[in-house]
Amino acid sequence: MSRLLSVDRLDVTFDRHRVLADLSLQVQAGEILGIIGETGSGKTTLARAVVGLSPVRSGRITFDGTDVTALRGKARRAWRRTGQVQYVFQDPLRALDPQHTVARIVAEGLTVAGVLDRAAIEARVTAALTQVGLDPSLADRLPGQISGGQRQRVLLARAVALEPRLLLCDEPVSALDASNRNHVLRLLADLRDSSGVTVVVISHDLSSLAGIADRVAVLYGGRLVEHGPIDRVLSRPRHPYTALLTASAPSVRREHPIPARALRPSPEHTPVAAFGADACSYASRCPFATQACAAAPASTVDDGWAVACHHAGEWRSQLTVGAR
Ligand SMILES: Nc1ncnc2c1ncn2[C@@H]1O[C@H](COP(=O)(O)OP(=O)(O)OP(=O)(O)O)[C@@H](O)[C@H]1O
Ligand SMILES: [Mg+2]
């Protein structure tokens, strides 16, 4: 597989608050990458940085060889118009103009991309709606007249209409019930299989990702703590935070399940004093943290599996034997 997107040492700062710190990540063409992390960990900020919507302070984002962080003015607008990277917003209700019909919403990007012929637009809209499993007869409805699951599909249709190479879906299923959730997740996998589009799916629910993603990236406090092939990462996580996430997701299959309580600091645990701004982002919550964790860990990489932890692999020796 070839690399489609590369994020190198990305820093994003809002009002002097460092939201993403020294974050590096690669996305391979044709894969489905899941990004997981708790609320506020920086998932949306990361996805929005890729489409130029987050204030990048330093670092670089390269899409298929083009340094998109270096694009300015006209060059940037021209690149955006190609529609190669589509960001699908987290909240369908807020992202959709309540006064615009489904057809108009799906056509928006096409018009911006310079498709002006009405018949061509209509055909692309119908094709996009069909591709996401919506009946084209919904084209005349308003967002308020369709269900939550349908609204999520309309957002996807708007992105798909542009025939993107990379689709960044921000929490595409968190507002949906279980059956719609599975349908939309399947739909993303089908889109990848049929068109070869590369997909990044953001979620705070590990079980949603487990069925569709090839790889997973785990964010904590604006830093990537672990990323690698999803089956291997979930069955034997090397970062204590990933381990806690898997322990809290009962449907995820693990090699040796570790009880969540063994991964949380005990009441007697005294965290190492004065973890500074450069510390491991998880240090103050980690039961295995030591003085070494006051310095940010470098990622140790092994066969496409990276983990940012000073005690990666070793902390398990502190667990009771059965749980290792
Ligand atoms: N426009 C902004 N101005 C200031 N701070 C911001 C802005 N956008 C995000 N932040 C801050 O950046 C941090 C990360 O936010 P972000 O929305 O990326 O998290 P998230 O992982 O997507 O969370 P959620 O799961 O709730 O969607 C938060 O502390 C948030 O308050
Ligand atoms: Mg978010």
From the CB of 37, is ligand 1 less than 6 Å away? Answer: yes
From the CB of 246, is ligand 1 less than 6 Å away? Answer: no
Cβ-proximal residues to 203 (8 Å cutoff; 6+ apart), any chain = 34, 35, 36, 171, 173, 174, 209
Examine the pLDDT at 129 and tell me if it is beyond 90. yes
Nearest CA to ligand 1 atom 30: 40
For residue 44, what pLDDT is reported?
96
Q: How confident is the model at residue 313 (pLDDT cuts 50, 70, 90)?
A: confident
Report the pLDDT averaged over residues 84-93.
Answer: 88
For residue 49, what pLDDT is reported?
96
Query: pLDDT per residue over 16-60, tens digit each?
Result: 899 999 999 999 999 999 999 999 999 999 999 999 999 999 999
Distance 14 CA to ligand 1 centre (A): 9
Examine the pLDDT at 10 and tell me if it is beyond 70. yes
Is the sign of the CA dihedral 75, 81, 87, 91 positive or negative?
positive
Nearest CA to ligand 1 atom 12: 19
Nearest CA to ligand 1 atom 8: 45
Cα end-to-end span (Å), the chain: 33
Query: pLDDT per residue over 133-171, tens digit each?
Result: 999 999 999 999 999 899 999 999 999 999 999 999 999
Alpha helices in the chain (DSSP H): 43-50, 73-81, 92-95, 102-112, 118-131, 148-160, 178-195, 206-210, 230-235, 240-247
Ligand nearest to the CA of 204: 1
Give me the residue spans of the domains in the chain: 3-218, 251-323
Report the pLDDT averaged over residues 70-83.
Answer: 90
Average pLDDT, the chain: 91
Beta bridge partners of 269: none
For the domain made up of 3-218, give the CATH fold. Rossmann fold (3.40.50)
